[in-house]
């Protein structure tokens, strides 16, 4: 059995060693394609493999067409908007993710970003503290839950809105649950986004939603760039010079944001929320074990396509 680890943004070496250990202990072969720069390299590498472990790497119809022996793709991470699920189903390929394995890493980065924002990008001027402030968590999944846990250490007042998570689950974590996204943004000056990129959420963070955020607003995005309506965010930041946007996913209009809002906008050069050894190890081992379980026991837990 051949397993390809295809990561344009590589895992830490220690995680790759752990993945190799799981794969080889099962009697399988691990093939590495790291830091590739061209889709052609991926198309060549997938030709005769039975399984692929990826991160945000794009698995589209062309890749699936080229991978004649492929049975399973595991996205070592949470979001699987980079995989064409329909095409995978048509090709008889099982797609899985590894939910929760990198959530703490992303949640810790959220606080690095909030502190950076409220301390004025570390420019030496007097900023504010997080203690006692209202934090809004938009979508209460694995990362949202970890953000709530860490926020308690900062003694923040934590609010959340999630269209799918039962109110009781959030309340059991001591969260103040609001009835709509609109209400969350009206109440909280600090909001952390944790929405997946879906047909419903794309462009949903728009002018109307953001315009009533309290003074000194900070929006932190460690989710996906697609959920933001960038033109409307620019319009809003133009009108409100108290509004800051900090993101781990560089917007399409990055240059415009830098030019217009140099002291109120920051983007990491490359998504780094899940870039810790711990998250790499957790997600990498989980992905490798899920592949072994799939082939040896027919286990399809964490399957995300039909
Ligand atoms: C995820 O969906 O798990 C995160 O966005 C991390 O993505 P990455 O593996 O590309 O860093």
Please write the tens of the pLDDT for every residue from 15-72: 999 999 999 999 999 999 999 999 999 999 999 999 999 999 999 999 999 999 999 9
Q: Which of 271, 302, 304 is the pocket-test mutation for ligand 1 (most atoms within 8 Å of CB)?
A: 271
Average pLDDT of 130-146? 98
Is the domain 2-101+275-297 a CATH 3.30.230.10 member? no
b vs e for 73-87, b when ≥16 Cβ sit within 10 Å of the residue's Cβ?
A: bbbbbbbbbbbbbeb
CB atoms inside a 10 Å sphere around CB 89: 14
Q: Which of 77, 80, 103 is the pocket-test mutation for ligand 1 (most atoms within 8 Å of CB)?
A: 77
User: How confident is the model over 172-227, as pLDDT tens digits?
Assistant: 999 999 999 999 999 999 999 999 999 999 999 999 999 999 999 999 999 999 99
Distance 79 CA to ligand 1 centre (A): 6
- Per cent of the chain over pLDDT 70 is 100
The SS3 assignment for 288 reads: helix
Cα separations in angstroms, 220 against 115, 205, 273, 276, 301: 11, 12, 12, 19, 31
User: Can you name the CATH fold of 103-267?
Assistant: Rossmann fold (3.40.50)
- In this prediction the pTM is 0.97
Distance 240 CA to ligand 1 centre (A): 31
User: How confident is the model over 68-124, as pLDDT tens digits?
Assistant: 999 999 999 999 999 999 999 999 999 999 999 999 999 999 999 999 999 999 999
Residues spanned by CATH 3.40.50.720 within the chain? 2-101+275-297, 103-267
The SS3 assignment for 290 reads: helix
Confidence of residue 138 (pLDDT cuts 50, 70, 90): very high
Q: For residue 156, what pLDDT is reported?
A: 98
Confidence of residue 299 (pLDDT cuts 50, 70, 90): very high
């Amino acid at each position: 059995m051949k397993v390809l680890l295809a990561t344009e943004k590589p895992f830490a070496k220690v995680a790759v060693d752990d993945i190799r250990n799981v794969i080889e202990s099962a009697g399988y072969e691990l093939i590495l394609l790291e830091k590739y720069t061209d889709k052609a390299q991926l198309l060549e590498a997938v030709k005769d493999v039975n399984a692929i472990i990826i991160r945000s790497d794009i698995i589209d119809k062309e890749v699936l067409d080229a991978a004649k022996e492929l049975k399973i793709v595991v996205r070592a991470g949470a979001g699987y908007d980079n995989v064409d699920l329909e095409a995978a189903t048509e090709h008889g390929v099982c797609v899985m993710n590894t939910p929760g394995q990198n959530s703490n890493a992303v949640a810790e980065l959220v606080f690095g970003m909030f502190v950076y924002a409220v301390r004025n990008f570390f420019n030496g001027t007097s900023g504010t503290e997080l203690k006692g402030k209202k934090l809004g968590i938009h979508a209460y999944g694995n990362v949202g839950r970890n953000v709530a846990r860490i926020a308690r250490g900062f003694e923040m007042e934590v609010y959340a809105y999630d269209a799918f998570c039962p109110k009781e689950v959030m309340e059991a974590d001591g969260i103040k649950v609001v009835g709509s996204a609109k209400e969350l943004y009206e109440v909280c000056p600090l909001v952390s986004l944790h929405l997946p990129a879906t047909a419903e959420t794309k462009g949903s963070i728009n002018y109307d939603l953001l315009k009533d955020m309290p003074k000194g607003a900070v929006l932190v995005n460690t989710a996906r760039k697609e959920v933001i309506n960038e033109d409307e965010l620019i319009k809003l930041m133009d009108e409100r010079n108290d509004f800051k946007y900090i993101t781990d996913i560089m917007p399409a209009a990055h240059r415009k944001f830098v030019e217009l809002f140099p002291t109120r906008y920051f983007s990491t050069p490359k998504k780094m929320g899940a870039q810790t050894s711990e998250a790499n190890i957790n997600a990498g081992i989980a992905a490798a074990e899920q592949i072994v379980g799939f082939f040896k026991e027919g286990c399809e837990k964490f399957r995300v396509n039909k």
